[in-house]
Structure 1
Amino acid sequence: MEIYKKRFFPPALITLALAVCLMPMTLGAHKTYIALVSISILGLLLYSLFKQFEVTILSLLVFRSFLDVFSEFHIPSVFAIGLDILAIIYIFFLFIGKKKIHFDRFGWIFLAWVLSQAIWPLLTATGGLELGKEYLYDSIREWMRIFSWFVVYLISSQFKDRIHPEQVINVLFCALIIPLFAATLQLILPVNALPEFLQSTSSPLFETASRINGTLGHPNTFASFLVLFIGLTYWKMGQSKNTMVWGSFLAVEIFFLVSTKALFSLPMLATLLLVLIIPEFKVKSLIGILFVLLLFVALFASSEFGRERLASISETPLLNPDMTLNRAILLSWSDGNSFNWRLAQWNFLIEEWKQAPFFGYGLGLARFIGPLRNYAHNDYVRVLVENGLIGALFFLLFYFSQLAYLVNQYTSSISRVRKKFCLCLIAIFLATLMGMVTENIWTHTTFFFYWWALVPMVSFNWVNAQETEKPFTPHRRYQSNVQS
């Protein structure tokens, strides 16, 4: 954490301390007082941003991981808007000061896609979609959420040539501290002994209080967040001399992942680990992954809730040949089987999509469609229903561009550390695509917040002075030939 050594109390940390202390005081206060406090914090952060850019932004990135539990008070939304304002002001001053603004070629693709998503709120506003103008607020809010991801990408890109990417990633690991501490409390304390904001916010339809969510709003959100950091930890384990330390931390993360009772995280974890070992495939690595996955299933099945979840799979058309799709949909109203419920939800949404096939119903509005009035629980169905065939094409092009960009950075990298980091992001990316099949990954704002903070790092300069000055030493097998 060398960047924090410049000052013992950097302005960003003082501001964040003020935010933590003052915001709870304003939750029940008058709106005018809340506005004044928010403006004061924004002003202090703006001052801090120009005094110590790296420390301020990294502190804010770390700070984001424990805001979801305050969603009831719209704190994450206020945070996102504040960060957008700070970033835009900072970039504007870089522009008028004729200073370099780092923005790689993928950034333009990202910007084009974000702007293309604005078509749907405009269509909602003009009455061009099936759902009326009364849904405009929800559509604009969804677009602002997507725009905030782009802002994170843009502001993280400005770390280039200022700070080594490994330092950035090391600091981001601090974002795990509070969520894991909260998750530990949820594991060891009874529910009624926990603060209200740490009590499980799971839907009573399928969930139980035995699931943990840390400081993230839902156990599933916590699970995707952990999968991302499991990928980063695996990468760190391969780069560090303290392999045992990182290996132990990896085991801790997987333990908490199992404790979320999020079954969709199992195929995500399997995809992540398999992709990570492909370039240097070894049988013992495959055996190790199989052991981890079997241990995951064993721990998952150690609770009554986990056993019920696993058993419910056998009562779906996937594993039961006597179970037809229509019967599964009928049973979903009464059997409490979340897998059959998902099949029913997808079927209802696709039937609704047929009424608006080209432009869909509007950005972020899938949960208002169909008899169940819930999230799609499949991001591919979601984008088809919300954006239609046109939006689905944009979505697929954008995701293909992401993958192509990461693969290109991987193949063209001359730094071994950077190459493995690119592979780590590719693995996380493919694991995310897997998770989107049965989960609302798209709604996991915290996951994408950190994802888009990491992606710019692949285009940074990873070769430090020591690495460039180190003389080339041939493998011992060839040293005798070189000397002769």
Structure 2
Amino acid sequence: MSALPATGAAKGSPGRHSARPSVPTSLGGRVATVAAAALVCAAAMVSGMSVGGDNKTLVVLPIVGVVGLGVGALALTRFAPFVLLLLGVRSSLDVVKLSGASAGNTATNNASRGMDPSSIVALLFLCAAVLWLLAQYSSGRRLKGSPLRIALLGLVGAGAVSVIGSEVPSASAMEVMRILSWVMMFIVLEQLIVDRRALQRVLYAAYAGLVFPLGYTVVLMLIGNPPSEVKGSFTRITGPFLQSNTFARFLAFMVVFGVALYPSLSRRQRWAMAPALALSSLFMLMTLTRGAILATVVGVVVVAVVQRRKGVLVGFAASALLAVALVPGLGARFATVTDTQQQLPGGPETGNSLAWRLTYWTEVLPLANSNPVTGIGLNMTQYQTDAAKQPHNDFIRAYVETGVLGLGAYLAMHLLLLRNGIAAIRNSVRGTFEHAVGAGALGCAICFLLGSAGANVMSNVVSLWYLVTFSAAGSYIARRNPVTGRIDGLYPFGRPLSASAPVEDAPTPVASSS
């Protein structure tokens, strides 16, 4: 790869670099520096004066605004580091959520949810991603991608069309934006992950996003104030999120993909990954989210079978037995599946919630009869049922809210996620890092499929950002040239290689046995 041009060289001394980075010396640069400092101070003062008040918005938004300006500048100048930064911090943003734990119901679907820092970041990412993709296309860079991208865009398109028939177009449009944000993350990462080095950077960033949720939960538990919510007779860990279900789904993808990666990591990386996986598994059990726990178990079993790791299966079975005995409420939580008392619609999670789901689905499905082609509009189920809840089944939700068009796109998305993982496994050699990524992508796809059958995962942006990150990693393995290790026609982070440049990080060709 050609060397970067020298900057800051002294006059008459070509090739020599200045010992220190340059600083703005012009009047404009000084004015900009002073203005930025004043803006930061003003935001801090507004936030500080608001701490004692009841308005949480005045505490959070000034700082979010200033940070947003800095992140926006990064997005416009160095897009790839901007994406990596978002992957590292997205899982931490819900700790300052403004719309409250009830976000998503009819009372908080509009303005309050749009003011959340996570929503602002999603909008910033969408704008920056569109500009970056347009710049790549206009510069002649081929925007190649997998068929999965088409299915994802089809889902977004069906959601956008459903807004036309929506009872509350603003709520449906906001839901389209939320879905588009994780779809766009997949599209962008497919363009950025074009060699092994780029793949490793993205995965490092994704697992950096696990540090704060785990640390935050550990610290609060140590001081005797664990982050939790009470539902019915159960106390469930929430982590930095406002709902235990969100924390569980986020951890599910991290655990499944982490288990797949573990054998291919270096000794130092294993020392970091092992405690992260142990804590993630423990906290997921403490969320008492049955769907996420069962989906994780199936995902890990699939990974172990693909990688032929019998020890993982034995250890996992032993851990499951210990968990039922040691984690408070876990056994009782699963025992409610056989409870004869049905959970009350719209009430706390007591009784048999599975029986409640089956009853609720029979109430939700007829809603699509008014418009079976394009649906009643995204997020509209909760406006048209007495329980005022989403369907708790994303397949039913796709049909009712986006019609047969959306259901077709959603089914195609799941099939292509599975195909993506299988193709990545076939295009790699067992025991390699690439094979581990493929196994992880397949395990996460199965975990998502099972979770979608009994929960509202479609618009759970924070979890799906990390799912599509791992899926984009699998897409790179599936589409790469096994000899060069690159995606033909694409270049890392938009910087084309010269014809004579050596290929970096290319794996040694290995003849695989079919």
What is the TM-score normalised by the length of structure 1? Answer: 0.76
Distance 1:54-1:357 versus aligned 2 partners, 3 A rule: closer
Supply the distance in 2 between the matched residues of 1:98 and 1:62 (Cα, whole angstroms).
Answer: 30
> Corresponding residue for 2:243?
218
Find the partner of 2:265 among 240, 247, 250.
Answer: 240
The corresponding residue for 1:140 is 173
Q: Say which SS state the counterpart of residue 211 (structure 1) adopts.
A: strand
* Aligned residue identity for 1:116: A
CA distance in 2, matches of 1:431, 1:24: 45
The one of 401, 411, 416 equivalent to 2:416 is 401
Q: Contact 2:374–2:403 at 8 Å: present in 1 too?
A: yes
Cα distance in 1 between the residues matched to 2:155 and 2:204? 30
Matches within 5 A, 1:309-348: 309-316=333-340, 328=342, 336-337=350-351, 338-348=353-363
Aligned to 2:128: 86
Is contact 1:231-1:427 (8 Å) kept?
yes
Inter-partner Cα distance in structure 1 for 2:77 and 2:43: 23
Query: Contact 1:407–1:422 at 8 Å: present in 2 too?
Result: yes
Aligned mate of 1:266, from 277, 284, 293: 293
Q: 2:223 aligns with which of 189, 193, 212?
A: 189
Quote the Cα distance in structure 2 between the aligned partners of 1:289 and 1:432: 20
Q: Percent identity between the aligned chains?
A: 19
Aligned to 1:155: 188
Say if 1:21 and 1:80 are closer, same or farther in 2 by CA, change over 3 A. Answer: farther
Within the alignment, does 1:254 sit opposite 2:281 as a pair?
Answer: yes
CA distance in 2, matches of 1:471, 1:393: 39
Q: Is the 8 A contact 1:181 1:214 kept in 2?
A: no
Preserved CA contact (<8 Å) 1:138 1:364: yes
Distance 1:274 1:233 in 2: 13
Matched, 1:439 2:464: no
What runs of 5+ residues in structure 2 fail to find an aligned partner? 1-19, 22-32, 99-114, 487-502
Offset of residue 248 of structure 1: 3.6
Instruction: Tell me which amino acid in the other structure corresponds to 1:169.
Output: L
Alignment counterpart, residue 230 of structure 1, candidates 246, 255, 258: 255
Question: What is the CA–CA distance in structure 2 between the aligned matches of 1:456 and 1:381, rounded to whole Å?
Answer: 26
Query: Which stretch shifts more, 260-269 or 45-54?
Result: 45-54
> Is 2:94 the counterpart of 1:68?
yes
Instruction: Say which SS state the counterpart of residue 441 (structure 1) adopts.
Output: coil
Retained in 2: the 8 A contact 1:266–1:296? Answer: no
**Whole-angstrom CA distance in 2 between matches of 1:372 and 1:244:** 47
Contact 2:151 2:412 in 1 (8 A): no
**Is residue 81 of structure 2 the alignment partner of residue 55 of structure 1?**
yes
1:366 and 1:376 in contact (8 A); partners too: yes
Matches for 1:460-475 after TM superposition, within 5 Å: 460=476, 461=480, 463=485, 468=506
Pairs within 5 Å for 1:276-315: 276-281=303-308, 283-300=310-327, 303=328, 305-315=329-339
Conservation of the 8 A alpha-carbon contact between 1:363 and 1:387: yes
Q: Name the amino acid aligned to 2:336.
A: S
Contact 1:266 1:293 in 2 (8 A): no
Supply the RMSD in Å over aligned alpha carbons. 3.9
Cross-structure match for 2:434: 418
| Partner of residue 121, structure 1 | 163
1:225-244 residue CA offsets vs partner (Å, 9 max, x unmatched): 11111122212311023246
- Confirm or deny: 8 A CA contact 2:47 2:60 kept in the other structure: yes
The whole-number CA distance in structure 2 between the counterparts of 1:229 and 1:335 is 26
The secondary structure found in structure 1 opposite 2:462 is: helix
CA contact (8 A) 1:384 1:391 kept: yes
Paired with 1:50 and 1:335, the residues of 2 have a C-alpha distance of 46
Cα distance between partner residues in 1 of 2:322 and 2:383: 39
CA distance in 1, matches of 2:241, 2:149: 28
Q: Where does 1:25-36 land on structure 2 (aligned, <5 Å)?
A: 25=46
Is the aligned partner of 1:383 residue 2:407? Answer: no
- What letter is aligned with 2:174? R
Q: Look up the SS of the partner of 1:374 in the other structure.
A: coil
Flag structure 1 segments of 5+ consecutive residues without an equivalent: 1-6, 9-13, 125-131, 317-326, 475-484
| Relative contact order, higher structure (CA 8 A, sep 6+) | 2
Judging changes above 3 Å, is the alpha-carbon distance between structure 1 residues 245 and 34 closer, same or farther for their aligned structure 2 residues?
closer
- Checking the alignment, whether the CA contact within 8 Å between 2:346 and 2:387 is kept in structure 1 is no
Q: CA deviation at 1:473?
A: 11
Please give the alpha-carbon distance, in whole angstroms, between the structure 1 residues aligned to 2:438 and 2:382. Answer: 35
Q: Distance in 1 between matches of 2:67 and 2:130?
A: 17
| Alpha-carbon separation, structure 2, partners of 1:33 and 1:292 | 43
AA aligned opposite 2:399: L
Larger helix proportion of the pair: 1
CA contact (8 A) 1:230 1:253 kept: yes
